[in-house]
Structure 1
């Protein structure tokens, strides 16, 4: 009877909770390992560019150098780059990465029939050519550090001396924003690049950026506007593939298949093996979406056979994709077999290939989908072990999405199998995972908002630098032109200034409107901060102990310091913690400060015996800055040994006072001793505390009150801080 009641309760809940944050069963990475190699061919003595040099990669990619002697070509690590010209010996080079390649050719003065006879190849890694060095640096940091990469690109733009260099700098900026999924900014920068210098290569990138930003019609128009005769074989395949992708997204499947087939024809003709596999796979997907399953099977079989002849990672990607197809057509037996093969391959390549949780090639996802397929066949005996393995794998890799979905499916299987107690326990685990996932998603959204804001600020600074440079050039031109043209330029500058003023006014209004919405984010940021001066000085103390060969003292100090830092990090996500935890933090912090300044002060911490420290909560590390101010700006400068008193008293049943008092030199003397920089830093720190208290009181109805005054009327007036804390 008790089991039946539990089951009914379980069913009721299951009908009232939405299944949040599901997986995308069709998401399989289709990215290859290709990258863009940039380079140039020049005369060694004059640095004069050599155009129309044949550049080829074994595998089908081909291009020539332009009028500036520059080239770019798609390649992979280990490919052989061949550089041919009728006037010099053929150069062969094995590609290791995407660093810039420079080929220097020396003139042959002895042989009239051949203009050049010798070459030198080197990777660009010096600051000889500032612009190219900065561009290379931007590309080197592109996937590692967005801010640093944008900074290098902006500096390169400031060093630019031609429209070609301008175009290249804006193209790299577009590449950065594309990688970090800021597609609207990528579109803007690619368009500026094309405005400086029209190239088919950047147009292809612009079309792809439009697609990622869901401007599908603009993407199609851009693809169709590209002159196919100006493209290399690889670029032509990319054009047809990209066009097919857009048509697939807009559900015009016939046009999608037609575009993919055109790309496949070019890839087969020029033996571009990776693209042959990819396009067969995409044609299969298009036929599948169109509902022509037999044709989809044929192309999937072809793509899987081709993938098996490539590397193991590409082969397993295709197996997973075909397994997804088998799932869609309810062919669970073949799906299970393919996924088991994929699991074996993944275990072989997992150490050499880094798979993040977003990848479809993770053991937890494949185990989950095998278990799900068995469940679709009502084979619960085989389904349960795979789902349990999926949950364990997902938990070890902190993949909450898969862990949640696998737990949910396990609960459903137990319920269908009549094991209601296990079903209920699994469902309770599922609900807990939903809560954890919701919290994680909330944090990710917050982080993404901050990241996006930083990126936009970087872009605005670059635009500002460009505006400043344009203004300087305009002023230079004013000194050489006639009066009539001078007036025209002045009017243009005035108009631009007015536009900037209007823009600044609109931005000010927008920022003002967003300020309230940012309070929550500000609170999260403020509560996670700890005074950086303390951390810096603490580590300096450790360094001093080590320098004096006092290893034992250094170890003891560093151990206590690490305990404090760990406690701060553990409480960083909480608005409030118990008074008991805060008192322990204060004891540890004050102990560390006293350890460093034993000759400057003694201290005492007292807690009223009548206070139940579990009944009161307090914002974490709210009191630490006041204690730090007492030590660093009061007691440290006192001529005699001072005293720090921290007393926690109960004023009534629902309110306590926390009094932090010191007999140091006082606020006025401390202010007089500070440098201008120190005053600003202290003002900013106290301002952060006031803002934090203000936000908390607004959110929690005047829970915290802070009062600061002199402690005594003697020469060293000291400081007294009274923090009033109210119980809920």
Structure 2
């Protein structure tokens, strides 16, 4: 169902009419005095807004101030005289003007407004006032750069060059407007939220002035809001009081309380508590508006406040300087201590790193030493068999062959000794060692096998561990070829290939199947190559290098019944890691 524009307008109008009722409900806890007296208990509502020292929220989050304590003191009076239990509900109303408007428009009897309201004839037509709890004196304040004016005429003559600040709908505005209307109608005028904002604006703008209550001015002076109080054109009204709705029946009992000796005693103590005894005495002096003793006392008080403020500033500066020096010393000490600790930490780190490096170097040296020891070992059976061969050749009277064998055997041993202390050798040197070794073995088993060693150009610059291939060649010879039946000649092929960043060594033979040869070898107790020594050397190398040497072996069957065994070594190039020391 669609709502027409007229229906919507009527709905809004109805809501507008209900707003006062809703507002009244917010402050509905406002029993009349008659109801409270009859029931011996009641609840009233007090509207307030922040303005120190009259009423404000303190650092502990509790309501404080002159007007708060005066209103709260009413409860003890009613309890003492009428045996009435009164509850006061405090409601924040937002502003000086808002409090006054809500009280003026309300028909709720037990509603009070507190915001140091000045009693004026115009306001008496709209609200009821309690009796005043303290005098109402507004003083003229100017920017600190303004001179002290000796007479009202001297100040009013300066109005054309000045700017005024005030708060709307207050007696301060009335005082400013009086000067504006009577002496300079074009006086610029700006509005502030409250009295302290007026004084801050005056302090921050040259050629400016405003009116504020005397008590607020003294509090502001203590708060270091720097304005100058002129000793001319002050204004004096009946006093500060609370406001009530025009229909409220609380007026008589409030006047009764405010007229009592108990109130005078309590009010004096409360005002002295928040303003100080000296300020209270000054505020309550009627001679303040004249050049009498009270005026002189006020000047003395101002000087005392300014002097105390200056002394506090000096002490604060000195304390800040001392604190700054202490902080600098502590900071410097902290930096120095941090530097010492960091230096010790770095030294310890370096020492630990050096120790760890030395430990690794020692471990590496141990491993290399073990590798050298292993690579220096030759199969003792090979040596004994070679010596037996020499004896055999000599006994057979073959002097030429004997001398040649001895010469080649000596050359082989010389190379073994020369390369035994090296960590790596070139592929050509490893191939040369294999040629010497196989020539000696071929002399012993002349009709048993042939051999071929091939070094491809791609592997000519490669490096290898000394004697790394010896065990595999020896195994191919003694586990494969020498187990062949008579009439079958063995063939041993050794090939060095360069592939990408690796050296590949392939050792292939057409010898006996390794499983069968192992059985025969175990029965005959035949000497074989020390393959465990080879694997131990590979393990030592791999333990200290990122790239590893890999070894593999396989039996391959080609066409027909021919069998070949292939052992493969894949060796990284370069041989050792570049960062190895």
TM exceeds 0.5? Answer: no
Structure whose residues are more often strand by fraction: 2
**Higher Rg of the two aligned structures:** 2
Q: Could you state the TM-score of these two structures normalised by the residue count of structure 2? A: 0.34
Instruction: Using CA pairs under 8 Å that are at least 6 residues apart, name the structure with larger relative contact order, 1 or 2.
Output: 2
Structure whose residues are more often helix by fraction: 1
